[in-house]
Amino acid sequence: MKRLALLTVVLLAAAEPVRAQHFAPLLDRELRDLLHDELSGEWAKDHVIQISRHHRIQGSRGYRHSANYVLERLRSYGFADEDAYIESYPSDGRIEYQTWQSPSGWDIERAELRMVEPYEERIVGYPEVAMSLITYSNPGSVTAELVWVGQGTSDADYTGKDVAGKFILATGYGGEVHRYGVLKYGAAAVVAYLDDDRAKQYPDMLQYTGMWPRAHELDDVTFGFNITNRQGERLRTMLESGRRVVVRGEVSGIGLEPYYMDVVVARIPGGNRADETLVIVGHLDHPKESANDNASGSAAMLDMARSIRELIDGGRLPQPQRSLLFLWVPEWNGTMAYIDAHAEMTGPRFGGKYLASINLDMVGENLELLHSRMNLTSVPWSIPSVLTDVVANVAEMVSRMNIRTPRGSLSELNYKVTPYSGGSDHMMFIDRKVPAVMLGHSDYTHHTSEDTPDKVDPVELERSELIAAATMLYLSDLSTQQAVDLTYLAGANGARRLGAAARRANSLMATVPSPIADAWDEVRNIVSHAAEWQREVVSSVLHFNDDRLVRTAVASMQEQLSQQEEQLLRALEDRARVTGVAVTVRGTAADQRIPARKTRGPLDFGLPESQLSEGEVQWYSSAEFDLTGTERFELVNLVDGVRSVSSIRNALSAEFRPIPLSVVAHYLEDLVEVGVVAWRQ
């Protein structure tokens, strides 16, 4: 009964909000105030306005213009040629960087979609509304009848419809509609519009979509337009009422072409540990406007680079001990090209010296206008790191500061520490075992023409800058006293997270049919992996300071976590017996095969399906396969050449939910078949 009482206390403690407890900031007041004084959300907002004027599509000349703007600003801030430059990577739609196909280069001068029958009306034009042209469209001129095809992204949408040589009107993503309607069924061009709930609420916005042609499709790409929900519904109504609609589309310019992806690099060299690097990354690409996504992250990085450079040059801030690396990248594809060229970019688990990364993606939302919040996306279990604890602590510190600017909002910081999820460039670093956290927001304007500079808040930009800059400077110069303090924080947070894992395990016993043979296996798996993860989080402090006093503190915290693990398992065992769950190890046959990666960087999102036979692909749409994108990504992260298939399954199940071994094995077998993973002999 005592152990059951202990379990109840632990579960209640795990449920308490962290922010309700006593708060002690990691950062010293002097550095906090220095950064607060120098960082400028107003300067960053001005950069947002300048960057968002460029139609900065990956591999395009417009992107190069924005990259040059960033480099020119860095030069004006005192960065020398060797510390700020552009690395360019060929990008023609055929060259591959690891498993990632480069996008084609692209340049268009003007485009227009006009209705000519039953009456004449200009619908959209490019470049005044840059998102109106589906990116990676080719030049051409077509006057043809318009045909409604629903979503336009499946064979069923074209059944009984004659679309050959015609325009097709659809609500699916532009590139997929083109792939089906034009490349497969012979349509001439595409007209796409958004019809989800947000489009109905904001009927005059249009969605950003792209062709993203595969290498074998490059020679057959035509063109397409994005229009608003109001325009699309009007055309659809006309067609469904039986009226004949004829439209003319004209696109002029180069179109697809071999070009380059540019990565802007800025480095602030470190002192006596200059060979160790902390990375700040943000993607510079996206269509004209696209202010929060991601002119905001790019602008915040520019102001951070300026501020730190000027503080050092002015003698107000000592040179950081570790080097700070700023990367403005074309999202995913450009980051992959950079990583491919820099094999040394690996984290401590691979023996590398890239110790941490922060990804800034959509960091300037005006919370009063967009009703959004800041999300701090945690490092996943596959690379336990204290980075999440530091970022969360600094964010709480910033939330208690009165940050105001002349043109900024009066909002309070609204933030949440969220579990790992992908969707941006932190994925690329995590795959290389560089611990990475993302700062970002989400809102209804994402990838639409509504993402404009007026919705960017200088106050939120400055908060984001302060969180990222303070985190990196703190970790760069972590003193022994600070490292011991950080160890205690990580240990305390680890105890709370371990309690939360026990709570999840307890819930599992309460919800499964009882008795169930493998319920206890899952309970032990959750708690044991969570405890191991928390011990490694504490140990990661040593990457930043391995002084004897720090090692002693780490060992002490790890021992406490081990004792908590043992007590929790005993209490859960008592709970299992009370509820009728068999406290036995089922002893099922394990899969001891050991997979090893053959590529660097995350796998292309189309793998393995894009290289499997039609029959093999069907498994991925069956009820048996239900892995989420995050689970698939983490599964591959766990492939380290040491873990067996069973070990990977157990770690993945502990982090997310019980996942059948057969699903993990099948997925890995497919990765082996397509050549990106091999079985270790």
What pLDDT was estimated at residue 584? Answer: 63
User: In whole angstroms, what is the distance from residue 528 CA to residue 148 CA?
Assistant: 55
Question: Would you state the pLDDT for residue 519?
Answer: 82
- Compute the Cα dihedral for 213, 214, 219, 220 and give only its sign: negative
Instruction: Provide the pLDDT for residue 22.
Output: 83
pLDDT means per 10 residues, the chain with 681 residues, are 50 49 91 98 98 97 98 98 98 97 98 98 97 98 98 97 98 98 98 95 96 97 98 98 98 98 98 97 97 98 98 97 98 97 95 98 96 97 97 98 95 96 95 97 95 98 98 98 98 98 90 60 94 98 98 98 97 84 64 96 94 96 96 97 96 96 97 98 79
Q: Is 261 helix (H, G, I), strand (E, B) or coil?
A: strand
- Helices 548-579 + 480-511 axis angle, to 10: 10
Q: What local confidence, expressed as pLDDT, does residue 576 receive?
A: 84
Contact 488, 553 (CB under 8 A): yes
Q: Which helix (H) or strand (E) holds 108?
A: strand 105-117
pLDDT at 407: 93
* pLDDT at site 681: 79
Q: How far apart are CA 393 and CA 489, in angstroms?
A: 9
pLDDT value at position 516?
Answer: 45
Q: What φ, ψ does residue 551 adopt, rounded to 5°?
A: -60, -40
Distance CA 295, CA 285 (A): 8
3-state secondary structure of 80: coil
> Do residues 227 and 54 lie in contact, with contact meaning Cβ atoms separated by under 8 Å?
no
Return the DSSP state at 178: I
- Look up residue 138 and give its amino acid: N
Residue 403 backbone phi and psi in degrees, to 5: -95, 120
CA 571 – CA 7 distance, rounded (Å): 6
| Structure confidence at residue 21 (pLDDT) | 59
- Answer whether 101's CB lies under 8 Å from 94's CB: yes
- The model's pTM is 0.95
Alpha-carbon distance 76 to 67, whole Å? 14
